[in-house]
Amino acid sequence: KDNCAPGETIDISWENEASYSSSDWIAVYRAKVNRVVSKYISYQYVPRQQGTMAFKMPSKYGFFEFRYLDGNKNMIGSSPVITQGPIVSLAATETKPLTIQVSINYSSSNKAFEGIGWIGLFEKGRVNKEYISYQKLASIDNNSFEFKAPKTGDYTVRYFHEQYYEGASCEIMIAHKDILNLTAKKSTLIVEYEINSKDPESDYTWIGLYRTEETEGRNWRRSKW
């Protein structure tokens, strides 16, 4: 079983005829984290070489797995990952410069979760609390909406059903050149620009006017943020 509800009781089967000991045990752990023995959530001793036992799953959403360990805490084997929470997939495409269209798709068995949770936009590599912006799913229509990226770069879109339980993610790269044009109209210089590689709100972006022979960046004639 690869998906269950929080707190659900499920049956776990095992077989260990080669090295069974009465000190063997099976424990449930959070998956996708370092396999540290002391981090088990619950456990039961194994009463015989093979059989089935019932485990009550944790009450939180997340990814879990069962591990079979011997009396010296050596892991003999592990189960496939079990997902507690909605199974969804995300897709992100750039529809126009710096605009990301996000689509969310729920598995047929998880339709009841539609409209619950939130989706965040992150710079690639950032932790789950360091989002750029987010959207609550209760306020969108047709499971699709847009994010505005602050500048070019690599981004991750992540779905959260409950707090920071990350149920799905996808990545997108935004790449555009900056455009800067200068024209003269009588005694007035007109600057036309499109800056995509910097975020004007946080990167202190400005435009300077220089003599053509000037090589020192600090010797501008005029400047504007």
* Beta-carbon contacts of residue 41 (< 8 Å; ≥ 6 apart): 27, 28, 29, 30, 58, 64
Q: What pLDDT score was predicted for residue 2?
A: 80
Mean pLDDT on 198-222? 86
Q: How far is the C-alpha of 27 from the C-alpha of 64, rounded, in Å? A: 10
70: nearest Cα among 30, 22, 12, 38 = 22
Q: In which band, very low, low, confident or very high, does the pLDDT at 199 lie, cut at 50, 70 and 90?
A: confident
Q: What is the pTM of this model?
A: 0.65
Q: What pLDDT score was predicted for residue 221?
A: 86
DSSP class per residue in 189-222: EEEEEE--SS-TTTS---EEE--TT---TT--SE
Q: In which band, very low, low, confident or very high, does the pLDDT at 202 lie, cut at 50, 70 and 90?
A: confident
Q: What pLDDT score was predicted for residue 149?
A: 93
Per-residue tokens: 188: 């007035």
Q: In which band, very low, low, confident or very high, does the pLDDT at 156 lie, cut at 50, 70 and 90?
A: very high
Q: Tell how strand 179-185 and strand 188-194 pair up.
A: antiparallel
Over the stretch 77-90, which tens digit does the pLDDT of each residue have? 999 998 887 778 89
Percentage of the residues of the chain whose pLDDT score is greater than 70: 93
**pLDDT of 121 over the 60 cut:** yes
**pLDDT of 71 over the 80 cut:** yes
Q: What pLDDT score was predicted for residue 150?
A: 92
**pLDDT of 32 over the 80 cut:** no
Q: What pLDDT score was predicted for residue 37?
A: 57
Q: How far is the C-alpha of 36 from the C-alpha of 26, rounded, in Å? A: 14
The CA-based dihedral angle spanning residues 112, 113, 116, 120, taken in that order and rounded to the nearest 10 degrees: -150
Q: What pLDDT score was predicted for residue 148?
A: 93
Q: How far is the C-alpha of 119 from the C-alpha of 157, rounded, in Å? A: 7
Q: What pLDDT score was predicted for residue 77?
A: 92
Element (H, E) at 225: none
Mean pLDDT on 64-79? 92
**pLDDT of 200 over the 70 cut:** yes
Name the E strands within the chain.
Answer: 3-4, 9-15, 25-30, 42-45, 50-56, 62-69, 75-78, 82-84, 88-96, 99-106, 118-123, 133-136, 144-148, 153-160, 166-174, 179-185, 188-194, 207-209, 222-224
Mean pLDDT on 191-196? 86
